[in-house]
Chain A
Amino acid sequence: MDQSNTFRSGPDEDGHFGTYGGRFVAETLMPLILDLEEHYAAASRDETFWSEFNDLLKHYVGRPSPLTFAPRITERFGGAKIYFKRDELNHTGAHKINNCIGQILLARRMKKTRIIAETGAGQHGVATATVCARFGMPCTVYMGETDIERQQPNVFRMRLLGAEVRPVRSGTCTLKDAMNEALRDWVANVEDTFYIIGTVAGPHPYPALVRDFQAVIGNEVREQILEAEGRLPDTLVACIGGGSNAMGLFHPFLDDPDVRLIGVEAGGEGVETGRHAASLTAGRPGVLHGNRTYLLQNDDGQINDAHSISAGLDYPGIGPEHAWLHDVGRVEYVSVTDTEALAAFQLCTELEGILPALEPSHALAHVAKLAPDLPADHLLVMNLCGRGDKDVFSVAEALGVEL
């Protein structure tokens, strides 16, 4: 397929997906970003890098994760045949570990001796702390104070894994502020520190390399659905905060025009209320955290607070490749509310015996709207990208249950 007919050739050499992406960082970081780009380009051409990556995914993460038919959910919705991609069964309980394995291997190639990361829900923080324990590297995780409160189990896990969790008290004390603080740490410790970004955002080459590490999700789905059904799926659905699980699922299918791709943003209390995290649905293009993308912002270009019951989706931006796929119309982006996600969380638990994280509960809430109107031979794959154990306290609180 030639370049003009593919959705998979981005980014260009300056890190642009259409007009999105790029490298909007302070001069102190530029030499590092360029260095990382060089090392990643070399690593991605190096078979030994990928064989080490794949070996760790298989024997440490437990991949491939199953593609599971969901019989009772399918029956309840009464339409499309629904499959779950079970990335919640990965070691550490979410898709985040795929990317962390890739980045820590890069950090080792670059002879870096210290790892930093930002985290929202804590899944990326736990995954980063895990690979740091596995490779014996010191790890500092920045986490907003608000998120620390609502994700206590993950905070404790990170500490058990030997990571230092630094509470972030600036701004709104959530994911975007944790990212600001991680960038400040990086600027101050450029010599020895590698920043493991948790999603397909940030300055080039992060959006591309995180996508490449997460693409294992979509590549496996392709193989598994061919084996199970003998053909490609009709629809793929994934939730989106920064968008790494969705990009990992979608990317291998971008050039299959018959596969419908749907990203589900967090609608919080409803997009019309202004208290949400739906950057594509209700934001506009701007520049933050090293890239141009859709952002929640006011008329003066100040970044608005995001809101979601799910800490992992509580981010006012989105990966630049999603921004581009939105504009060119290859992927549809929708949003569901906190309440809808909660209902889906309970439904999945009751009907399938799977406790999903609140993040993929958003994807399932959209599947609930979509599936009933689709025929029984319509193959729908939803990325169940994380498990819900970390969310039981938030869910209990939302349901008015005291634990």
Chain B
Amino acid sequence: MSNRIEARFRRLAEERRAGLVTFVTAGDPNPAESRRILADLPRAGADVIELGMPFSDPMADGPAIQKSSLRALKAGQTLAETLAMVAEFRSGDDATPIVLMGYYNPIFSYGVDRFLEDATGAGVDGLIIVDLPPEADSELCLPARACGIDFIRLATPTTDDRRLPSVLRNASGFLYYVSITGITGTRVGESDVVAGALARIRAHTTLPIAVGFGIRSPEQASRIAETADAVVVGSALVGAVEQAPGNAAAAVSELVEELKAGVLSARRADQGGRP
């Protein structure tokens, strides 16, 4: 299997630009509209897709993603349905990486081996499981990597130099730097503080680094794109779904296009300061 995540970040490096990583929740606001949102994301400008697996108790998420999870569950979303969505998407797009993001219990309940088999078959490229720290690598991280699925780690401002090596030990794909201590969608990190943190982390790893939590506007995306390898936007997109449930795919596409323009306008050091 070709590694879509690696290929995508290699291409971004060649093009000397940051990528846009978009988060939406699978099944939000309903299965049919959610499939449309997913299908339109690459065209609108998503370089990597994070697809949320809804969970009843999203402990690390703010109100926007909590509500989005509940909307999806209310509309009948299940983990099996999420995997089916990925398979359908994959039949029309073999290049855009898909990373499933969520909490461990639905996967544990589905059965880790069965999940990895079905996720591999569906064309899932990576996993971000919020409540599986490196101390729990034997649960899912190591089995996933044995199947060729990347296990993407979160690093946060509390991840100091003492802790970084254990966070990075079995990390693959890219590193997701959470720019604030807090829940999703609430605040945004100061861009110079973020730049400092990225420099510190890059001393420990060659993995590409995506930065997220709280990035809502093209301007914020542009500032983060000056130093990050990719910019993650989530709460703003699920907020758009909430605002326009009947017309969510178009609303999400429009916002993704604006954010992408922001990312592409970034003044990057590796372009000699020229956009």
Which A residues fall within an 8 A CB radius of B?
A: 14, 22-32, 170-171, 176-177, 180, 183-184, 187-191, 285-290, 292, 295, 297, 299-303
Contacts and interface: CB of A to CB of B under 8 A. Distances in A.
Given A26-B154, A32-B158, 19 more contacts: A14-B135, A23-B136, A24-B104, A27-B153, A27-B154, A27-B155, A28-B154, A28-B156, A28-B181, A30-B135, A31-B158, A171-B56, A176-B57, A180-B59, A184-B182, A187-B60, A191-B181, A287-B131, A301-B79
Given A31-B163, A290-B131, A300-B79, A26 B106 contact: no
B133 A183 contact: no
A301 B107 contact: yes
Nearest to B69: A302
Contact of A301 (B108, B155, B186): B108
A30 B133 contact: yes
Interface of B: 55-63, 66, 70, 73, 78-80, 103-110, 130-133, 135-136, 153-160, 163, 167, 178, 181-183, 186
6 residue pairs, one from A and one from B, having the closest CB atoms: A301-B109, A301-B106, A188-B182, A302-B56, A26-B60, A28-B156
B181 A288 contact: no
A188 B60 CA distance: 10
Nearest to A305: B56
Contact of B59 (A14, A184, A295): A184
9 contacts: A28-B182, A30-B135, A171-B57, A184-B62, A191-B181, A286-B105, A297-B109, A300-B79, A303-B57
A23 B166 CA distance: 15
> Among the interface residues A28, A32, A285, which one has the most CB atoms of the partner chain B within 10 A?
A28
Contacts of B61: 184
A180 B131 CA distance: 13
B182 A24 contact: no
Given A27-B155, A30-B163, A31-B158, A286 B57 contact: no
A23 B135 contact: yes
B131 A24 contact: yes
B42 to A, nearest CB: 28
A111 to B, nearest CB: 16
A212 to B, nearest CB: 22
Given A28-B156, A297-B105, A22 B136 contact: yes
B201 to A, nearest CB: 13
A300 B109 contact: yes
Contacts of A289: 57, 59
Contacts of B58: 180
A287 B133 CA distance: 13
A180 B158 contact: no
Contacts of A303: 56-57, 105
A305 to B, nearest CB: 9
A301 B158 contact: no
